[in-house]
Amino acid sequence: MRSSPAPGPWLRLCALAGAGATALVVASASLELGHAHWGFALAALPPLVAVAAAAYLSYRPLLPAAGAALLLLLAAIALGGVVGLASEAAWSVALHVAGAAAALTASLFTAAQSFRGASVPAGPWRDYVTLTKPTIMSLLLITGAAGAFVGADGWPPLPTFAAAMLGLALACGGASALNHVLDADIDRLMGSRTRARPVASGRVPVARALEFGLALSALSFVLLATTVNVLTALLALVGNLFYVLVYTRWLKRSTPQNIVIGGAAGAVPPLVGYAATSGSLALPALWLFLIVFLWTPPHFWALALMIKESYAAAKVPMLPVVRGDAETARQILLYSLALVAFTLAVAFSLGLVYLGAAIVLGAIFLALAWQLRREPTRPRAKALFHYSLAYLALLFAAAAVNPLVL
């Protein structure tokens, strides 16, 4: 009888992390450590969720143990609520500790089971870097860093800033890896540019890419929740799930407005940065979110004009495929006008340095969008696409610098 494939190192790491955190849950419950106990429970959940999800999708023999570990920990957390309602009666505390101990037993069994099975090649390590889409991540980190500076109204505390950026990078990398998994079928149809991607080409097995993306996403939440704050962790998780499940899995394949709605995922990093250094959300964070939200359609539709044939070959309903080049160029100009108008309207909140950058950068953006409207050609689209990257980076850099100089 042929052995089932064994989970890879990323899933094993999650299984071990889940077991270790659950052990700390049990110990802290026994010692009645209060806030630390709930912190350990919060840290144990993401890796156990990642293991259960990967088991369901790729490693079914692991599912009974992984599912039991997750459900038992959730039950133990619920029993923790009973402890509070029962005014910490001895029977309720004992029941809570017993539930956590059962979760620990199941998580330890899951970790042991994750080392069983036939070995499967993991693929070149460089491909795992590619899975995180470093170029896209770098732009998202710039917007996240700007949000951190605006939230701190100056220099953010270095430890908090470093943890927030690392956690955001892990969330972005995890979402991108899962995007590679879900888009593998499309990538094989869109030509040489995407056919050679790690998952689409088969260099990285689907199961390995899946567990890699889930592990990074889980680690992101644990890091942000334990070293920054829970709000920051939740925001990063929401952006991750929206990009993977709402945009990649649903909108991208179903409507030409995919990038308009789905652009909300790419606009989350400024919220993450702002919440990390301020501990809350306020109007300046919303302004930064909406700037990225309005920037995304003209930026992405310019790219879609450049590779329209590829999207058509994969039957992805991007705007140029469905409505044509002229209409796409018109929509790009309209969104560009809205974008620049909005960036100027919120200058009262983001400062004079930002205002100067918004005027200069916005004028160039509008000129390129107008030229594309008059002549919707690939060179014009390429010029706007590449400029839009610099535009967003420089505009957010100005927003970050403003509180440092004024």
pLDDT in tens, 3-34: 567 788 999 999 999 999 999 988 887 776 66
Contact 314, 197 (CB under 8 A): no
- Give the model's pLDDT for residue 1: 36
- 3-state DSSP assignment of residue 278: helix
- Residue 335's nearest CA partner among 375, 358, 365 is 365
The answer to whether 284 and 275 are in contact (CB under 8 A) is: no
pLDDT at 403: 87
CB-based contact 13:215 (threshold 8 Å): yes
Q: Are 256 and 312 in contact (CB under 8 A)?
A: no
Give the pLDDT of residue 41.
85
The pTM of the full predicted model, rounded to 2 decimals, is: 0.92
What confidence score (pLDDT) does residue 148 get? 97
Report CA dihedral (348, 350, 352, 353) to the nearest 10 degrees: -160
Q: Map out the domains of the chain as residue ranges.
A: 9-113, 125-405
The reported pLDDT for the residue numbered 38 is: 78
- CB-count burial class (<10 Å; 0-12, 13-18, 19+) for 43: buried
Which residue(s) pair with 118 in the sheet? 5
Q: What pLDDT score was predicted for residue 6?
A: 79
**Taking all residues of the chain, what is their mean pLDDT, rounded to a whole number?**
91
pLDDT digits (tens, 9 = 90+) for 313-344: 999 999 999 999 999 999 999 999 999 999 99
Low-confidence ranges of the chain (pLDDT < 50): 1-2
Q: What is the dihedral of CA 64, 215, 122, 200, to 10 degrees?
A: 100
CB contact at 8 A, 264 and 249: no
* C-beta neighbour count of 2 within 10 angstroms: 5
- For the domain bounded by 125-405, which CATH number is listed? 1.10.600
- The encoded tokens of residue 111 equal 């970790």
Res 2: pLDDT: 47
Query: What type of residue sits at position 59?
Result: Y
